[in-house]
Structure formats: structure tokens, C-alpha cells
């Protein structure tokens, strides 16, 4: 069989632990037999990030800016334990945070639904897409531990050296502070990405913040969304029969539990991080959630929403077989390949991506699946398989 040719390389960002074990197997079993794969490879494994003082992460993001499409494996964001475990020079920043800061944009996470896994929230019969703002807030913060007897202030200095000050707290006892920021430009591109996604998928857009408490910060998000919607999108939404709806974050959390789904839920950075995990686990498993970073400048980065599946990796290191679900990683590849096909005008590449996704869904719906899905599927699984066997079954179905 002749392999499908590519024109432009995909930027491939490798990662850590169990997902690093699965990554080459996905390529070997499901992609390389069909595609004459062109990639530019960056090793974002924690050891290489440490060796290069994290330069490799910046270089990978620059390559995505150069070529337009990246596919990323899950990576460790080191905490104090990881510094000891991997003998790191320091607690490197989250690679996703670094990349998102360079590309800007919004992360859209959409569950992959299969017939034999019913969402634990019974009313959710359609996918809930979480649109996560991918810039700023707590992910680009400055933090300090404050000794007792100190006064903490916010200080803003303009170009003439004129200061504005706001007391944060007079610390009679020791404590902590943090400063966060966002920019009008980034919030505006977040709003536009969400409205564009809603129009493209013909789904309502819900947006929520805590503007009753955060009267300047969160209210800025609310106002920018409303301004852009009224000026640029109101008529288009009306014509498409969809709605934009703003409310408080607590109100959305309450409403969503009774809703049928089929909406885009636009979330600030932290809300999106947390809520997408909740939505994913209701729809089955973290491994059944796709994730794409859409940059306002036209760059795309596809990844899985889950992490490096550390617990499974430790079993793997002990020589035990694991039943780790590779679906989200596979969909990261199909998403990236299809986008490359779209940008480069290669319809066979798009068709291949669709067929691979279909083969994955068919495999699970035929009753063959990994342990995470077997625990929640109905009717019960016919065969619960190990990671590698699952990939072999999908390969058969292609």
C-alpha cells in the first residue's frame, strides 16, 4: 500500500512517564504503516528540559509558530517531590504554561463519547466542550511568602514613574501573597476564539466568572465578552439560532448538572483546568477527552487532557503490564494530522484521521477496552485489555 504523503512537518513534542511509553507504540502501530510521517521532534521529557534549562520548550513553541501545527505528549510539571525524584536543577515551570504564554489562545476540551459508556451525570446526553482561556491568571503569577510584621501592597508604576498603590494586607502574622495579571488583548482573543468555536460547532456559549467578588479583574472579562459579542457576533449568533449567556460561576456549576449538554462552556484559565477534569471524568475517563489549543494567530496544538499517568508508570517500571487508555493521545495525533491535511490541502490525510478515530470508537463499542472504561461501561466489557493489546485491536479495525 502506498503511504499518504505529507507536505509540511508536524511539530512533535514528546513527554514523560507512561504517556512516553505509549507514544512510540501509537506511532508504530497506528500511524507509520499508513503515513509517510514528517515531523520535527522535540524532547520535552523532564530530563531534557532540565539539561537544556527548559530551552527545548521554548524552541518547540517557536517551531509551532513556524509550522502552524503541533502534537504534544503529556509532561511532568515538577513540584518539590519531582525535583528529588528526577534530581532536577529546579522546579521548572509547566511546559503547557510556557507554550500557551507564547501562542496565546484558548484550549477547547471535548469529550469523546461512546455508546457503551453513559455519563455519570445522567442528563448529559451531548458533549460539553470546555473552552479554557490559556493565558495568565494564576499560571503566570508572582508569589511571595511574607514574614510577620510586613505590609504587602500592589504597586503599579506608569512610564513617568507615578505610582498607584493598593494595600493587600498588613501582616501581623506570617502569610502568603500572590499577584496575577491578564491583558485586554488576551481576554479579547479568548472571547473571539470562543464565539468562533460556538458558531463553527453551532452550540450555545456560556461564560461565567466571579465578578460579584472580583469587581475589577473578573468584571473586565465579563465586559470584554459582552462588548465583543454585541459588536461582532450578536447577529451571527441569531442567524445560527444559538445564544451567548453570561452568569456567575456558581450559577453555571448548578445549572450544568441539570443540562443536557451540547454547549461550549467558556472558562477562565483556572476554572477551565479544574472543570474540564470534572466534565471528563463524568463522560467516562480523563483518557476520553480531547484537547486543542487554538491560537488567535492561527496556530494549533493538539494534546491529551490527562497527565503522565504516574501511578501506571510505576507499575510499568516494576515490570507489570498496565491497562492505560491511549484514546486521548491517539485523538491528539488525529486532530493534528487532520489539521495539517486541511492546511496543506491533503484530503487523504483528513480521511485517514477520521477512519482512525472511527476505528477507536468501534473497538470500544465492540466491547474491547482498557480498565478505566471497563469499570464504568454498560453492557459490561467483553475483554479488558492491556495498553498495547488495545492498540493492536484498533490496528485490526483500521
Bridge partners (DSSP) listed for residue 150: 171
Residue 273 touches which member of ligand NAP, Mg ion, none, C-beta under 5-8 Å by kind: Mg ion
Does 76 sit near ligand NAP (CB under 6 A)?
A: yes
Residues touching ligand NAP: how many (CB under 6 A)? Answer: 18
CA distances 327 to 28, 270, 304, 330, 363, Å, are 15, 25, 9, 5, 11
List the x/- string, 229-268, binding to ligand NAP by CB under 6 A. ----------------------------------------
Instruction: For residues 221 and 209, give the distance between their C-alpha atoms in angstroms, rounded to a whole number.
Output: 8
Instruction: Identify the residue among 324, 340, 353, 377 touching ligand NAP (CB under 6 A).
Output: 324
* Between 273 and 357, CB nearer to Mg ion: 273
List the x/- string, 333-372, binding to ligand NAP by CB under 6 A. ---------------------------------------x
Helix axes 17-26, 387-397, angle to 10 degrees: 30
Query: At 303, phi and psi to the nearest 5?
Result: -155, 180
Does 385 sit near ligand NAP (CB under 6 A)?
A: no
C-alpha cell at 348: 487523504
Q: Which long-range contacts (CB under 8 A, 24 or more apart) does 340-345 make?
A: 340/6, 340/8, 340/10, 340/69, 343/8, 343/68, 343/69, 344/6, 344/7, 344/8
Does 201 sit near ligand NAP (CB under 6 A)?
A: no
Instruction: Quote the least distance from Cβ 7 to Mg ion, whole Å.
Output: 34
Of residues 257 through 276, those in contact with Mg ion by CB under 5 A are 273
* Between 273 and 372, CB nearer to Mg ion: 273
C-alpha cell at 66: 513556524
Does 137 sit near Mg ion (CB under 5 A)?
A: no
Residue nearest to ligand NAP (CB): 307
Does 310 sit near ligand NAP (CB under 6 A)?
A: yes
Instruction: Quote the least distance from Cβ 1 to ligand NAP, whole Å.
Output: 30
Of residues 145 through 174, those in contact with Mg ion by CB under 5 A are none
Does 63 sit near ligand NAP (CB under 6 A)?
A: no
Of residues 6 through 35, those in contact with ligand NAP by CB under 6 A are none
C-alpha cell at 133: 482561556
Instruction: For residues 328 and 337, give the distance between their C-alpha atoms in angstroms, rounded to a whole number.
Output: 14
* Between 22 and 35, CB nearer to ligand NAP: 22
In 277-335 the beta strands, taken as DSSP E runs, fall at: 289-294, 300-304
Contact present, 323 and 370 (Cβ < 8 Å): yes
Instruction: Identify the residue among 204, 277, 342, 348 touching Mg ion (CB under 5 A).
Output: 277
Eight-state DSSP code of residue 138: G
Burial 336-370 (b: 16+ CB within 10 A, else e): bbbbbbeeeebeebbebbeebbebbbebbeeebbb
Q: Interface residues with ligand NAP (CB under 6 A)?
A: 74-77, 96, 285-287, 303, 306-311, 324-325, 372
Q: Interface residues with Mg ion (CB under 5 A)?
A: 273, 277
Amino acid at each position: 500500500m502506498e503511504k499518504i504523503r505529507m507536505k509540511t512537518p508536524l511539530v512533535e513534542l514528546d513527554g514523560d512517564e507512561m504517556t512516553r511509553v505509549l507514544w512510540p507504540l501509537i506511532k508504530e502501530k497506528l500511524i507509520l504503516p499508513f503515513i509517510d510521517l514528517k515531523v520535527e521532534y522535540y524532547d520535552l521529557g523532564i530530563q531534557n528540559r532540565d539539561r537544556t534549562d527548559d530551552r527545548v520548550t521554548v524552541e518547540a513553541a517557536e517551531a509551532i509558530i513556524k509550522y502552524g501545527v503541533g502534537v504534544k505528549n503529556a509532561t511532568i510539571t515538577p513540584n518539590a517531590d519531582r525535583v528529588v525524584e528526577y534530581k532536577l536543577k529546579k522546579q521548572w515551570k509547566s511546559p503547557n504554561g510556557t507554550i500557551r504564554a507564547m501562542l496565546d489562545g484558548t484550549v477547547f476540551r471535548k469529550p469523546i463519547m461512546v455508546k457503551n459508556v453513559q455519563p455519570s451525570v445522567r442528563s448529559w446526553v451531548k458533549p460539553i466542550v470546555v473552552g479554557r482561556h490559556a493565558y495568565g491568571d494564576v499560571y503566570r503569577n508572582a508569589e511571595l511568602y511574607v514574614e510577620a510584621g510586613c505590609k504587602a501592597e500592589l504597586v503599579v508604576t506608569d512610564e513617568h514613574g507615578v505610582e498607584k498603590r493598593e494595600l493587600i494586607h498588613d501582616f501581623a502574622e506570617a502569610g502568603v501573597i500572590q499577584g496575577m495579571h491578564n491583558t485586554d488583548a488576551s481576554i479579547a482573543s479568548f472571547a473571539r476564539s470562543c464565539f468562533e468555536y460556538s458558531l463553527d460547532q453551532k452550540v450555545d456559549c456560556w461564560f461565567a466568572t466571579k465578578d460579584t467578588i472580583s469587581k475589577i479583574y473578573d468584571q473586565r472579562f465579563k465586559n470584554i465578552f459582552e462588548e465583543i459579542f454585541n459588536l461582532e457576533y450578536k447577529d451571527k449568533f441569531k442567524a445560527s439560532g444559538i445564544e451567548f449567556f453570561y452568569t456567575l460561576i456558581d450559577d453555571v456549576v448548578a445549572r450544568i448538572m441539570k443540562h443536557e449538554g451540547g454547549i461550549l462552556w467558556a472558562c477562565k484559565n483556572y476554572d477551565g483546568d479544574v472543570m474540564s477534569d470534572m466534565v471528563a471524568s463524568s463522560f467516562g475517563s480523563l483518557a476520553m477527552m480531547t484537547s486543542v489549543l487554538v491560537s488567535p494567530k492561527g496556530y494549533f496544538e493538539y494534546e491529551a487532557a490527562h497527565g503522565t499517568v504516574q501511578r501506571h508508570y510505576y507499575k510499568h517500571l516494576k515490570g507489570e503490564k498496565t491497562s492505560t487508555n491511549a484514546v486521548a493521545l491517539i485523538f491528539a495525533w488525529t486532530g493534528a494530522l487532520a489539521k495539517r491535511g486541511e492546511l496543506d490541502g491533503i484530503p487523504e490525510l483528513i480521511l485517514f484521521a477520521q477512519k482512525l478515530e472511527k476505528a477507536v470508537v468501534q473497538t470500544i463499542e465492540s466491547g474491547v477496552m482498557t480498565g478505566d472504561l471497563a469499570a464504568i461501561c454498560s453492557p459490561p466489557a467483553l475483554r479488558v485489555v492491556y495498553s498495547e493489546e488495545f492498540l493492536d485491536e484498533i490496528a485490526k479495525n483500521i
